[in-house]
Amino acid sequence: MFRLQGSKVLAVDVTGDAVKAKNGSMVAYDGQMAFKKLSGGGEGLRGMVTRRLTGEQMTVMEVRGQGTCWFADRASEINLVALRGDTLYVESSNLLATDAGLRTGTAFTGLRGASQGNGLFTTTVEGTGQAAILSDGPAVVLRVSPQYPLTVDPGAYIAHQGNVRQSFQSGVTFRTLMGEGGGEAFQIRFEGDGLVYVQPSERNTIAGDL
């Protein structure tokens, strides 16, 4: 069971099943715990090769035992996402932990991944259970509907879920409109029905001054 203690510490009750978490994110535990580093996100050889080719880094550890384990990452805000047989698409650097009922993998995302320097793939989390994702500042959850598509700065994008299609656009961005942009700029457009998670802070990208 995942529980937030404040907004920056995740408490996980471990009862024998394996919990996957970002390597090095454990800050405390009680009871009996065993930690094992997993290469390539624990996805086997295919996942390792995919991440190596795309340059997307995701080192995780597996936690087993009996007790409670606490996780945090550089005082980032932590957001809990409940999955019920669906898939969460999340930037690897923003994924903190997944419980035993969820599987992680990689998915092709086209040029959006290239805009962030993370290759052409993103991390997928699927199944039934809870995932904890990180954000620089409190995350905002935005609804995408057929009537109201959503356009997002790639530097603020964290994750999305639901029946959502994404496309990659070049051209005018928010900062360009304000006269603050420079170089080539990109946006992500989401259409369909689902949720998009964004953070109130922009990571550096290689897509230009976004």
As a whole number, the mean pLDDT across the chain is 80
Question: Is 204 within the bounds of a domain?
Answer: no
Q: In this structure, what CATH number is given to the domain that contains residue 121?
A: 3.60.160.10
Q: What are phi and psi of 137, to 5 degrees?
A: 95, 165
Question: Is 206 within the bounds of a domain?
Answer: no
- pLDDT tens digit string along 171-188? 655 555 555 554 446 788
pLDDT at 2 over 90: yes
Question: Is 210 within the bounds of a domain?
Answer: no
pLDDT for residue 203: 62
User: Within 13 Å of residue 101, how many CA atoms lie on the same side as its CB?
Assistant: 14
The whole domain housing 165 covers 1-196
Question: Is 17 within the bounds of a domain?
Answer: yes
Question: Is 201 within the bounds of a domain?
Answer: no
pLDDT for residue 54: 45
Q: How many domains does the chain have?
A: 1
pLDDT at 50 over 70: no
CB–CB of 41/123 below 8 Å?
Answer: yes
Confidence of residue 118 (pLDDT cuts 50, 70, 90): very low
pLDDT at 59 over 80: no
Question: Is 9 within the bounds of a domain?
Answer: yes
pTM here is 0.81
Question: Is 167 within the bounds of a domain?
Answer: yes
pLDDT for residue 208: 38
pLDDT for residue 84: 93
Question: Is 205 within the bounds of a domain?
Answer: no
What is the average pLDDT across 108-117? 51
Q: What are phi and psi of 50, to 5 degrees?
A: -60, -45
